[in-house]
Structure 1
Amino acid sequence: MARFEDRYGLQLSTTSDVAADRYRTGIDLLLSLWPDAAATLDAAIAADPDFALAYAARARLHAIRAEATDAKGKIALAQELVARHGTERERSHVEVLRLAIHGQSARALAGALEHADRWPRDILILSLPLGAFGLLAFSGMADHDQARVDLCERHAAHFDADDWWFLTYRGWAHGENGDVVRGRAFAERALQLRRNNVNAVHALTHVLYEAGAGAEAEALIEDWLPGYDRSGILHSHIAWHAALVALERGDTEKALGIYGQYVAPSNTLGVPINVVSDTASFLWRFQAYGHPVPAGLWQDASAYASRYFQQPGFPFADVHMALVAAASGDRAALEARVKALNALIEAAKLPAGPVVPTICRAALAFAEEDYLGCASLLEPMAHEVVRIGGSAAQREVVEDTLLVALMRSDNAAKARALLSKRLHRRPSPRDASWLEDLAPA
């Protein structure tokens, strides 16, 4: 019987060369978040209906797209099939994915790390802890940025120097952890090797933003985005980055234009977590920077958000849902979320801890123009915001809220200190302007 392997030399328990070929291609499409991944993996399943790993990969793609029922159905089939004729590696692979898909994040993270130590080139499993929405980012850890770097460096020797997938995530990890020079080099090389790789563009966009190279980020997006189909999972999110760059330099007309064309709920095919967080954080920043949000935009964002994340306990979503509720004047919903989050903390079921309800309460204080109260809540928790997960660019909305609250509550000295620290880390025309405005007479 022929032996089939994946792109990294790991055995695939299938009897079909077509299934193996479609699986290899489908994994590359999945891990570059490129369209046609679903159809390609479906073709692998059609070629060999007993191919467990093809069902597992399809389950992972369903999970990324927030199609929970389909994801659970596919991973159950994978588990049944792999138990009959899978290798030890394949059984572990399916089990880690099963834990992740069923929301058992802590066990999934532990399993993924253990699996990666034994089979470091099993990239679908190694990918789970990485990225802005990976198991490490959403673990509640305060040092998840460093943990991603440590994980990548621990396994770097197992990958070729020009492996586009590993370069993508290695670049992301270093860039988010503050090494923008190294992060940029890895991400740029990943994009050179595989242009149809939204994760590489995403990583490079972030590292350029963190380096204060907004014009370069904008040029990159304008050049690359037209070649990425609007059905792509991160299409609207990449456009969101361009809107942030325009907003940061004060071009509100362009920023709003990008938001309306690509990011607004009525014009995006993105997944709910991206749509809720991108709409909430853009409109919140726009308003916090002193620009009136056009009529209807907050209402549209609120109407979309009301269909998702009603159950508290997902910190990244909780924070953005709180921004929507605060801006929309839904005090009751926000207070109910805070109460539920505090109950989770008391039950030791919220690893991110008190920073989550604190940010929610601060958002309400800010919206109600209690700027001193907002600053008093956020200032002691500033170093804990990283626990909510996501990227530094996404979490910056919380620091922006603190900064504006300090400025509006006559805490100029504290605002200057925070701005000086941010400018040292990342040049920003907005921050430079704010600092000039706060200069002592």
Structure 2
Amino acid sequence: MPLDAHDLSTSSASPGATQAFEEAVRDLAAHRPSTGAAIGRALEADPDHVPALALKGFANLILARRELAAPAREALAEARRALAAKEGGTGDEQALVEALGHAAEDRFADAADCLDLRFADRPATFLPFKIAHALRFMLGDAAGMLAASQRMMAVWCPGRPMAGFLLGCHAFAVEEHGAYAAAEAYGRQAVAMEPDDAWGLHAVSHVHEMRGETAAGIAWLEASRGSWSRCNNFSFHMAWHLALLHLERGDHERVLHLYDEEVRPQPTDDFRDMANAVSLLWRLERLGVDVGHRWTGLAEIARRRRADTTLVFASLHTLIALVALGDRPAAAELVMALQVRAQGTGDQARVAADLGLPLARVIAGLGGERGALDRLAAALPRLGGSNAQRDLFVLALAETASRRDDAPALRAIGDARRRLKAEDRLIAAVDGRALSARLRAHR
């Protein structure tokens, strides 16, 4: 079968479906809100377009909401039926469907490994590479991300399909390992090649944040606003990075304005949007900023999601919101849901058992957590997300260690944090807040 514009072999004979799917893949790369509509057009033109069905399934799973598991399984069933109708389809199509089968069973690691193996001879084929990159990001598998992107870079050249977007993924994988100079160079090159490469833009913003370069980071994000502001809800996340840089500069009014207008401009139920909001409000409060009624704006979604443990990373952000709202019964219910999840099977069940549940008990103040606080901090990458996103939990553990007078744990947590991130005012504010709480308790 011929390869499409993105180097993927498909069995579809519909030019309209092929064009729409190619648009969907590019929109996916650029984090455009039109991705879903383009997938829909591809399936209207060819209801048996296997890669479009597979991408539809992955898109539902990556949103990590309990009610979207059924649509993902339906897309998987349709993709399998379409393969059968096309006498097995192409090898690339079979690989995508096989990987989706793993992912639909909460085996994201197996899905990513499957894509690596099945595309081992073409590691720079964009769609399977990007899907595996996204799955490993959700698993916190930075080593796997970097290994895959290094294999891709071994065959990468500027003339390859989607070359700039591929380079942006490599920049992010490098950044998550603390190689900031290299990550910045790769990210800037990616954006120069593809100005709409939101992930490359994102990688460079991470570099500036981790190195404490607030002025340079703000300048980078403001200069690229014309690109990232056209993204889907990823634009909210880019605004979150901008807000963190202003937070470090102490411009709290600007941070609150960004929260209202760009970080949380609408009450969405996407776990990534909730994570942005929760982590920013938590930080603001640790710096003594009055956030007004903004926690209340998260209450409905947090309470509705209190039993949804599809993704432990999301559940812990929900828990922080419930604790901030003072809703102890809902918080306890979520901890119990994580306990049930920990007894199941799949990637997230293991994350819940090994890390999510003991960390949730710390956050909820329920006690009985397994393991020392510094060991929990060391295990945080398994929650998924980025170093910048997980910093919320590092800070929360540091606050708990300070409140408990656990000096060895606090020192270990602080040392580990400084290996990735420049010293900032937050760690001192968190320690000071915990000290004040201890003093009040002993009066």
TM-score normalized by structure 1? Answer: 0.84
Separation in 1, partners of 2:359, 2:56: 36
User: Of the candidates 341, 348, 353, which is equivalent to residue 338 of structure 2?
Assistant: 341
Match of 1:351, SS state, is helix
Shift of 1:421: 5.6
Number of equivalences: 422
Match of 2:135, SS state, is coil
Match of 2:170 in 1: 170
1:83 and 2:87 aligned: no
1:298 and 2:327 aligned: no
Separation in 2, partners of 1:102, 1:32: 28
Shift of 1:395: 0.5
Match of 2:224 in 1: 224
Q: Deviations over 1:216-258 (max 9, x none)?
A: 2222222223444567130111111111111122211111110
Shift of 1:8: 4.4
Separation in 2, partners of 1:38, 1:424: 39
What is the percent sequence identity of the aligned residues? Answer: 25
RMSD, aligned CA: 3.3
Match of 1:351 in 2: 350
Whether contact under 8 Å (2:306, 2:330) holds in the other structure is no
Match of 1:123 in 2: 126
What amino acid does structure 2 have at the position aligned with 1:403?
Answer: A
Shift of 1:112: 2.5
Whether contact under 8 Å (2:6, 2:22) holds in the other structure is no
Match of 2:17 in 1: 19
Match of 1:311, SS state, is coil
Separation in 2, partners of 1:129, 1:9: 16
What amino acid does structure 1 have at the position aligned with 2:176?
Answer: E
Change (3 A) 1:348 1:239: same
Separation in 1, partners of 2:307, 2:340: 15
Moved more, 253-262 or 151-160: 151-160
User: Of the candidates 399, 417, 433, which is equivalent to residue 404 of structure 1?
Assistant: 399
Q: Deviations over 1:106-137 (max 9, x none)?
A: 4423422322325424322222231xxx3324
Match of 2:320 in 1: 323
Match of 1:190 in 2: 190
Q: Deviations over 1:148-205 (max 9, x none)?
A: 1112112322322461121011111010111111111111111111112222222222
1:332 and 2:329 aligned: yes
Shift of 1:302: 1.9
Instruction: List gaps (5 residues or longer) in structure 1.
Output: none
Separation in 2, partners of 1:288, 1:253: 15
Match of 1:135, SS state, is helix
Whether contact under 8 Å (2:33, 2:231) holds in the other structure is yes
Change (3 A) 1:347 1:418: closer
Change (3 A) 1:238 1:269: farther
Separation in 2, partners of 1:175, 1:123: 20
Change (3 A) 1:437 1:279: closer
Change (3 A) 1:377 1:230: farther
Whether contact under 8 Å (2:32, 2:230) holds in the other structure is no
Match of 1:57 in 2: 55
TM-score normalized by structure 2? Answer: 0.83
Whether contact under 8 Å (2:319, 2:331) holds in the other structure is yes
> What are the residue-to-residue correspondences of 1:14-163 with 2, within 5 Å?
14-64=12-62, 68=69, 70-85=71-86, 86-101=89-104, 103-130=106-133, 134-139=134-139, 144-161=141-158, 163=163
Separation in 2, partners of 1:419, 1:225: 33
Change (3 A) 1:301 1:269: closer
Separation in 1, partners of 2:202, 2:313: 19
Change (3 A) 1:100 1:412: closer
Separation in 2, partners of 1:193, 1:232: 21
Match of 2:379 in 1: 384
Whether contact under 8 Å (2:184, 2:204) holds in the other structure is yes
Separation in 2, partners of 1:436, 1:117: 48
Match of 2:439 in 1: none
Change (3 A) 1:170 1:275: same
What amino acid does structure 2 have at the position aligned with 1:95?
Answer: E
Match of 1:117, SS state, is coil
What amino acid does structure 1 have at the position aligned with 2:304?
Answer: R
Q: Deviations over 1:39-75 (max 9, x none)?
A: 3333333443443223333444454556555544444
Instruction: List gaps (5 residues or longer) in structure 2.
Output: 434-443
Shift of 1:259: 0.6
Shift of 1:407: 4.5
Separation in 2, partners of 1:437, 1:298: 23
What amino acid does structure 1 have at the position aligned with 2:333?
Answer: A
Change (3 A) 1:55 1:113: same
